[in-house]
Chains A and B, each alone.
Chain A
Amino acid sequence: MGPGLDRGEGLSTAATHGRRRLQLGLLLSAPVGWLVVAYLGSLAVLFVAAFWQLDSFSGQIVHSWTTSNFETLINGDVYRTIVFRTVGIAAAVTVTCALLSFPIAFYMAKVATPRVRNVLVVAVLLPLWSSYLVKVYAWRTILNENGILNWLLDPFGLSGPGFGLVATWLVFTYLWLPFMILPVYAGFERIPNSLLDASGDLGASAWRTFRTVILPLVFPSVVAGSIFTFSLTLGDYITPSLVSSSQFIGNVVYSNVGVANNLPLAAAFATVPVIVMIGYLIGARRLGAFDSL
């Protein structure tokens, strides 16, 4: 059987072979053409633009080859701080999402009746890809000085975190939590009950079973979920700008495209999250996370 043939072994003649290759070509030309031309092409343009330069007098982009943007970024302490802050918050958000997702994901996979499980899956799925901006705005209203959080905490003599880094961490955690719960839930579902019962029968406490049996088995799923929590945090500039005054990679990129009109510098800085994500994906692949997606 030649390449390009999937079925019809008995009928495999040169004519059907050729026809199937033609069909395949027709099927793939539009989607692959779109993604390669519109998307990969654009990514290539972005990469090339990182080596262009802004003429400081005319404000025009000069299409000549220079590494000065990368030099600016490497030598600028501000940029380094921003990269560390962004990656740091992405890591903190990932850990928090993992911790919050364990109880509910385990409950869904192992404890809940099929009916309750179905309701919970829908409850987690609904906010996954919906109303991103409204959710950030909702937190702005909640964390506001006269908002509901301070009103709830006031009787205890406490007050909310207000706007800042803590608020950014909280809102990111909130936004990406469903992206972590779903793979972790799938991971728990794949663990056979007999393993957990065996651990209990051999006298392990619930905590010990969790630490030595469950956690190693579900870890690849956590890494799979963390691809989303990490990538989404690295590329976001709207959340930080709405609930804090700190600068993140996204804010710098956005303000250089818009306000400063320095597209080459923005393009150079935008390569940072791409490089971080590529490194992250390679690491995740080694940990077996791709089989858990």
Chain B
Amino acid sequence: MHLSNGSRWFLRLGTAFTLLFIYFPIAVIVLYAFNSSRIQTWPIPGLTLDWFEKAANNPGLRDALWTSTQAALGATAIAMVLGSLAAYAVARYRFFGRETISFLVILPIALPGIVTGMALNSTFTQVLGIDLTLFTIIVGHATFCIVVVYNNVVARLRRTSVSFEEASADLGASGLRTFWLVTFPQLRSALIAGALLAFALSFDEVIVTTFTAGDGETLPIWILNNLSRPRNLPIVNVAGVVVILLSMIPVYLAHRLTADPVASGR
């Protein structure tokens, strides 16, 4: 496509500006994690690895990391099962209300987080009368994680042909055997990608979690609670870097697993 030099430069500058805007704050927080001073001012006087050691030995932070890991694993497991069941039904069957399923799955993430959080909170505390624990965190996270697994699996099922499954059935394989030997291998990378995204989404979530966590602290909640304690800020920086890594790496891997090699030019 023909573009004038002026337009070309405008687009390049605009792109560079937006990229800088996106990554500048992330770079700043990573740099602060190595700040040798306890006080969060700029410029930083020097670099140190001390805070990483202090963070590794901080019991509150370790507990929060463990709670977050359990919550993310639990939510991912539930979302994997529910998301793929719904995806298989929508992609391979025709039935009344099929459109509604897609809508229902997306709703927990389309509505403002505070609404989802409050709704679950009132059900747990007012109707069911149960305490807010790790279990309630997992229920909340699983609800909004279903959509990422569902989306990945539906997209994959729509791209893979039904004829393989039909051929397998014609050759006498049972439904279960067809699923295990034909459908599942085609879905595998989409399932892993969905799981990785669900893990990242759960690991990072804070708004719904504040309503469903009770006294338990997930990593983001630990960060939130410690922002008001200046003494702990150096460790918060380190926790921030951990969250950045643990939520960005799965997203990157998921993208690699599902990227269409032709479209991405590789």
Contact = CB atoms under 8 A, between A and B. Distances in A.
A199 to B, nearest CB: 11
B169 to A, nearest CB: 8
A142 B20 CA distance: 14
Contacts of A181: 18
B143 A104 contact: no
A8 B111 CA distance: 39
Contacts of B118: 46, 253, 257, 266-267, 270
Contacts of B190: none
A194 to B, nearest CB: 9
Nearest to B84: A31
B255 A122 contact: yes
B15 A103 contact: yes
A107 B89 contact: no
Contacts of B244: 130-131, 134
A273 B110 CA distance: 11
Given A28-B85, A131-B240, A253-B114, A20 B93 contact: yes
Contact of B104 (A35, A49, A141): A35
A27 B122 contact: no
Contacts of B129: none
A43 B108 CA distance: 10
Nearest to B266: A118
B211 interface: yes
Nearest to B120: A42
B11 A129 contact: no
A135 B107 contact: no
A235 interface: yes
A197 B204 contact: no
Interface in A192-216: 193, 196-197, 200, 206
B200 interface: yes
B93 A132 contact: no
A267 B126 CA distance: 12
Given A126-B252, A144-B40, A277 B95 contact: no
Nearest to B205: A132
Nearest to A148: B42
Given A27-B89, A147-B42, A206-B3, A237 B119 contact: no
A273 B85 contact: no
A31 B206 contact: no
B216 interface: no
Given A38-B139, A111-B11, A131-B248, A263 B206 contact: no
B130 interface: no
Contact of B95 (A3, A35, A134, A137): A3
B94 A235 contact: no
B76 interface: no
B148 to A, nearest CB: 8
Contacts of A232: 112-113
Interface string A16-31: 0000100110011011
Chain A: interface size category: 35 or more
Contacts of B266: 118
A28 B101 contact: yes
Contact of A35 (B125, B146, B211): B146
Contact of A28 (B11, B89, B162, B207): B89
B42 A126 contact: no
B85 A135 contact: no
A120 B105 CA distance: 29
Contacts of A84: none
The listed residue with most B CB atoms (<10 A of its CB), out of A46, A101, A277, is A46
B264 A118 contact: yes
Interface of A: 3-8, 20, 23-24, 27-28, 30-32, 34-36, 38-43, 45-46, 49, 61, 100-104, 106-108, 110-111, 113-115, 117-118, 120-135, 137-142, 144, 146-148, 151, 174, 177-178, 181, 193, 196-197, 200, 206, 227, 231-232, 234-238, 242, 249-250, 253-254, 257, 263, 266-267, 270, 273-274, 277, 281
Interface of B: 1-4, 6-8, 10-15, 17-19, 21-26, 28-29, 32, 40-43, 78, 81-83, 85-86, 88-89, 92-96, 101, 104-105, 107-108, 110-116, 118-123, 125-127, 139, 142-143, 146, 162, 166, 175, 197, 200-201, 204-207, 210-211, 220, 223-224, 227, 236, 240, 243-244, 247-248, 251-252, 255, 259, 264-266
